[in-house]
Amino acid sequence: MIKKVIPAFIFLFLATLCEAAIWENIPAFPQAQRIKQEEASVNGRQVQTTIYITLSTPQEAVEFYKTRLINFGWKLESKLSVQGIEILIYSKEGKFLNIKSQNILGKNYITVAQSVNPKESVAQASSCPECENKQDSAGKDLRFVPRYPGSIRVNSIERDNGKKALLTYSTKDSIDKVLNFYSQNMGNYYWELDNMVDFQNLPEGVSDKLAMSIQGETLVFKSPSASCIISVTEEPQNKTTVIGVTYNE
């Protein structure tokens, strides 16, 4: 079953390995290997995105950038920690910088996204009217995937002209309630449930530490032309449920 889930995280990382940073104003993490570079839309802004892989921990990456980026003129606006994913958000002269560090199967993936133009983000229409005015991040929802009622949009990333998308939401509702919502409503958008993965019953080969640290479940949906993975996990520190939506056309 895990084979159904892993591609949702790995499709971002299929490229030839190379080294060094692509921007002079952003330091490269020591001994990191660059595995992909592209342009994407992050929270409503066009950004340049680079993905690195390292043997460090997400916390080590966070400390490196918090220490070094101030010397490059970047101002730390916020720091988020969601189910083992560390996110730093910076600003500088009207531009923004988003750094995400995440451990996947023993390796740390660092995503560095910098806005191309110094232009303010504009939040786009939500597919969930009752979710408005709840401090959504800028960006947009997927019109062909239902949004959990009352949730807050934390992050929105689009690639390949909308053919690939990754969105993150948070809610105070329970994991079971969220899973029940998607199980009942995805069919109205012509999705068919293809698989379910409980993070407490991962197959051999996945570290015990990873399995113990994750509470939740993933629903894998298919349509004739695309796949959609809904991952619902618990963030015990903030007593919130995190909803990850990964779309692949």
The reply to whether the predicted model has a pTM over 0.85 is: no
211 φψ region: left (φ > 0), alpha (ψ -120 to 50), beta (else): alpha
Summarize pLDDT for 47-99 with one digit per residue, the tens: 788 889 998 888 899 999 999 998 889 999 888 776 678 888 898 888 888 88
pLDDT at 80: 79
Model confidence at 134, pLDDT cuts 50, 70, 90, reads: low
Q: Where in the chain is the domain with CATH 3.30.160?
A: 2-115
Could you say which architecture CATH assigns to the domain 2-115? 2-Layer Sandwich (3.30)
pLDDT over 60 at 123, yes or no = no
Give the CATH number of domain 129-248.
3.40.1000
- What is the rounded end-to-end Cα distance, in angstroms, of the chain? 20
pLDDT at 117: 62
Model confidence at 3, pLDDT cuts 50, 70, 90, reads: very low
Q: Residue 241 is encoded by which pair of tokens?
A: 């449920």
pLDDT at 131: 52
Summarize pLDDT for 197-239 with one digit per residue, the tens: 775 544 444 344 444 445 788 999 999 999 999 999 887 777 7
Model confidence at 147, pLDDT cuts 50, 70, 90, reads: very high
pLDDT over 70 at 145, yes or no = yes
Query: 216 exposed, middle or buried (CB, 10 Å; 0-12, 13-18, 19+)?
Result: buried
Q: Where in the chain is the domain with CATH 3.40.1000?
A: 129-248
